[in-house]
Structure 1
Amino acid sequence: MPRRFLKRYMPHPDTLRRQRSLRFMGHLIANPSLWVLTRRSVANAFSVGLFSAMLPIPFQMAVAAFGAWLCRCNLPLSVGLVWITNPLTMPLIFYGNYRIGSWLMHTTPREAPSRLSTRWIAEQMVDIMPALVVGSIVSAVVLAILGNLVIRLLWRWQVSRSWRQRRWRRRRKSG
């Protein structure tokens, strides 16, 4: 996997530790095992981050950070992946989760109004919530497993490609 690529875009732990808003997490940020970039730590970070992103709860980043600490995986990747559900994509993703939950629960999903708003969601919350929770959990589990498998396969492919290129260069150099 492109370890150099990931290192280039990851923040340095000292930079985060010096930020006033993150001082309460200093012990967590200082833990070097949460900054390691190995196949296992990156794949598990994708699982934790994608799982947390699909949950319709506040403080998804805190859940991802706690999950990274529990699983001993890469903290910045876990927390960064939560931003898949940013304010622009969140309504679409959660509506999709709701539709999946409705399908799994064999209920008729409510059609979204022409203009989806938080007011409509708040008014329909009692009816929407069971399907949204089921759909979100199923989506979270499926995405976490798929993300983990894809990262492990990509990492393995990249390593084997690197070894082939190295072998080819050595043969060309010696031959």
Structure 2
Amino acid sequence: MRIAVWPRKGWLRSSRYYSKRVLRLTATPHAIAIGFAAGTFASFTPLIGFHFLIAFGLAYLVRGNLIASALGTSIGNPLTFPFIWAATYEIGSWVLHSEPAASTHQVHAQFQARLLTKSIDALLPMLKPMLVGAIPLGLIVATVSYFVVLKSVEVYQLRRRMTLAKRRRATPNSGNDTPGTAGD
């Protein structure tokens, strides 16, 4: 349980690992970026347990990379969920013109208490504004993540191609372009 909240090697190393995983995917920069954005959008929904399925469905619809969409759901984690839930609830309440709770801490406490002890009927008054608020907030963060990931993958793939081309030029060629044709 502790590792889910605080990774063994720390959050910085964990985030570096995820960023390297995204950069090293083999697909077009657009497919990787749109897949990651789909995962980011899915993490803003309050439907915990369905984030991967939502991310895969969205990535499939927009022809994004499915692995990148799974990695994009890491935006929603135990540290960010309280902020995401409070923000989506506030935005959803504003959009629906309902009365928001007094504080973000109160929203998180109410949601957690209802999630663990009540049925889905008791959760619906809180889920509705959160679902409505997740759409604009998720779209904004997904758009920002799309452009950040797109540029990062483009730069990484360009550098990788240049490095491989430099290695090919530095490797001496024995004169045979195809292996196994010397004695044929």
TM-score by length of 2: 0.58
Q: CA deviation at 1:53?
A: 0.9
- Of 28, 37, 62, 1:47 maps to 37
Give yes or no for contact 1:51–1:140 (8 Å, CA) kept in 2. Answer: yes
Distance 1:88 1:77 in 2: 21
RMSD between aligned residues: 3.6
Relative to structure 1, is the Cα distance of residues 36 and 137 closer, same or farther in structure 2, using a 3 angstrom cutoff?
A: same
Distance 2:60 2:77 in 1: 23
Q: Is residue 82 of structure 1 aligned with residue 73 of structure 2? A: yes
Q: CA deviation at 1:148?
A: 1.3
Question: Aligned residue pairs: how many?
Answer: 137
User: Amino acid of the residue matched to residue 41 of structure 1?
Assistant: A
Relative to structure 1, is the Cα distance of residues 89 and 104 closer, same or farther in structure 2, using a 3 angstrom cutoff?
A: same
Distance 1:7 1:102 in 2: 35
**2:11 corresponds to:** none
Give yes or no for contact 2:32–2:65 (8 Å, CA) kept in 1. Answer: yes
- Of 121, 144, 153, 1:146 maps to 144
Give yes or no for contact 1:42–1:74 (8 Å, CA) kept in 2. Answer: yes
Matches within 5 A, 1:153-164: 153-156=151-154, 162=159
**2:7 corresponds to:** none
Structure 2 residues without counterparts, runs of 5 or longer: 1-18, 167-184
Give yes or no for contact 1:54–1:139 (8 Å, CA) kept in 2. Answer: yes
Q: Secondary structure at the match of 1:113?
A: helix
Q: CA deviation at 1:113?
A: 2.9
**1:96 corresponds to:** 87
Matches within 5 A, 1:7-46: 36-46=26-36
Q: Secondary structure at the match of 2:98?
A: coil
**1:65 corresponds to:** 56
Give yes or no for contact 1:36–1:73 (8 Å, CA) kept in 2. Answer: no
Distance 1:46 1:138 in 2: 17
Q: CA deviation at 1:47?
A: 1.5
Distance 1:67 1:86 in 2: 20
Distance 1:103 1:48 in 2: 25
Q: Is residue 113 of structure 1 aligned with residue 128 of structure 2? A: no
Q: Percent identity?
A: 24
Question: Over residues 23-54 of structure 1, what are the superposed CA-to-partner deviations in whole Å (9 max), with x where a residue is unaligned?
Answer: xxxxxxxxxxxx63321111111211111111
Give yes or no for contact 1:50–1:147 (8 Å, CA) kept in 2. Answer: yes
